[in-house]
Structure 1
Amino acid sequence: MASSLVSSILVLPISRCHQLKQRLPLLASATPPSTHKARFVARRKESVSVQQLQRPLIEYMRLPASQYSVLDAERIERVSEDTFRCYVYTIKFFTFEVCPVLLVKVEQQPNGCCIKLLSCKLQGSPMVAAQNDKFDAIMVNRISCESDSDKSLVQQLTSDTIIEVVVL
């Protein structure tokens, strides 16, 4: 039974593999080096068409981070001109509560920005907070805005994100 399952997976047609890839939201792998217990890497690239309003999106994307509007002041706190602290939603899991707190830096790019994770700390239940020294996280999110022409009413907003978490 197991060998037939393996052989059916190995001979999956290429067109079917493409369909499976489209349905999966993230690709992840666990490859532990000798000094780590586990290493998880995920990458996702997503694009969406955005209708232009009075101010072109590309103009906003070219602004320095110091001029960004912070829409949810309870979740996003400006630390400096280009650094923000983000409180991710609290997740309740059985008797535990977890709230990841991200410190990110925003760097300007020609057609957008690059958001880099500086640190990630877990807040919540005491047992959850005790895990902060047991993992490292890296995240880079490149956000860009493209259009066919400067006068186009629709622009393409693209986010290309890679996240790596290493369990120590």
Structure 2
Amino acid sequence: MAAAKFHSAASLFPRYQEIFTSTNRRRIGGWRVNVCKAKLSDSNAKKANLSARKKERIRLPNYGDDGYGGKNIHHISEFIGHPCGIEAILNTRALRNYQSLGSNVYRCTLPQIQLLSFEVAPVLDLRVTPTTEDCIVEMLSCKFEGSEAVEQQNEHFSASMRNHITWETIDAEPFLNVDVKLNLVLEIYTQPFTFLPISSVEAPGNIMMQALVDRLVPLLVQQLLQDYEEWVCKQMGSFTMELQR
């Protein structure tokens, strides 16, 4: 919670297509959802633990004054709780398709990407929980869809992602805060990596993941603010039309 113009498959999400994970299942609202608890615990293979975190704070434009003595009717919390805000957080314009699974869970299919010699389509199950105080985006599942060889790789890693979006006022200025955490457990099962210490995978892996998150989070924030501005303009236009009637 790229994805990344968080609208390319990744605002988190133009390139969150690079965030991968695996598959166990449970039901949410009658739908069967793949949860990020892979079968890694069933294996004695070496496991590399990778992680990255990025915090971003940006000043929000103040759209509160409608010119008619109204209150702050265009606050960011109102936008994020609106269906347009949910679509902005999911970055739906960059997706091949998406659908609601109920219980604030959405299945997002990204465009196919080239991974080595394979074409794969990442599929994310995301829970978006907006409140008047914040918004939490959690990745419940991410898997590859493609050939049998591609889908077998889903058994060899497990990932989790959490994007905590908050807003606050500091010295009368509104700010948006984004805190993204990404964790990946990677099974080391191919030679020559099985003969190397885990640190030989974790050290470069952490650098790569941090670079990815450092790139995606600012793009996510930038796109979210653009969508917020577009939504406010539509709301103000509708309000003006109502007054002129």
Please give the TM-score of this superposition, normalised by the length of structure 1.
Answer: 0.63
Match of 1:132 among 132, 154, 158: 154
Structure with greater strand share of residues:
1
Deviation at 1:69, TM superposition (A): 4.2
For residues 123-147 of structure 1, what are the alpha-carbon distances to aligned partners after superposition, in whole Å with 9 as ceiling and x for unaligned?
Answer: 2344222211111111111011222
Deviation at 1:66, TM superposition (A): 10
2:102 aligns to what SS in structure 1? Answer: coil
Structure 2 equivalent of residue 25 of structure 1: none
For residues 62-108 of structure 1, what are the alpha-carbon distances to aligned partners after superposition, in whole Å with 9 as ceiling and x for unaligned?
Answer: x2779834653744322214111122343213422233211111223
Amino acid aligned to 2:48: A
1:164 aligns to what SS in structure 2? Answer: strand
Structure 2 equivalent of residue 161 of structure 1: 180
1:41-120 alignment runs, 5 A limit: 41-53=51-63, 55-61=74-80, 63=81, 68-69=86-87, 71-72=92-93, 74-120=96-142
Structure with greater helix share of residues:
2
2:57 aligns to what SS in structure 1? Answer: strand
Q: Does the 8 A contact of 1:57 with 1:155 survive in 2?
A: no
Deviation at 1:118, TM superposition (A): 1.0
Question: Unpaired runs of 5+ in structure 1?
Answer: 1-33
Deviating 4+ runs (over 6 angstroms): 64-67
For 1:49 and 1:66, the matched residues in 2 are separated by: 21
For 1:145 and 1:103, the matched residues in 2 are separated by: 25
Deviates more, 1:68-77 or 1:119-128: 68-77
Q: Does the 8 A contact of 1:65 with 1:107 survive in 2?
A: no
Please give the TM-score of this superposition, normalised by the length of structure 2.
Answer: 0.45
For 1:35 and 1:64, the matched residues in 2 are separated by: 45
2:181 aligns to what SS in structure 1? Answer: strand
Amino acid aligned to 1:140: R
For 1:65 and 1:120, the matched residues in 2 are separated by: 23
Amino acid aligned to 1:127: A
Deviation at 1:165, TM superposition (A): 0.9
Which fold has the larger relative contact order, with Cα–Cα distance below 8 Å and residues 6 or more apart in sequence? 2
Q: Does the 8 A contact of 1:39 with 1:167 survive in 2?
A: yes
Amino acid aligned to 1:165: L
Identity over aligned pairs, percent: 27
For 2:85 and 2:180, the matched residues in 1 are separated by: 23
For 1:110 and 1:87, the matched residues in 2 are separated by: 28
For 2:155 and 2:116, the matched residues in 1 are separated by: 23
For 1:57 and 1:117, the matched residues in 2 are separated by: 22
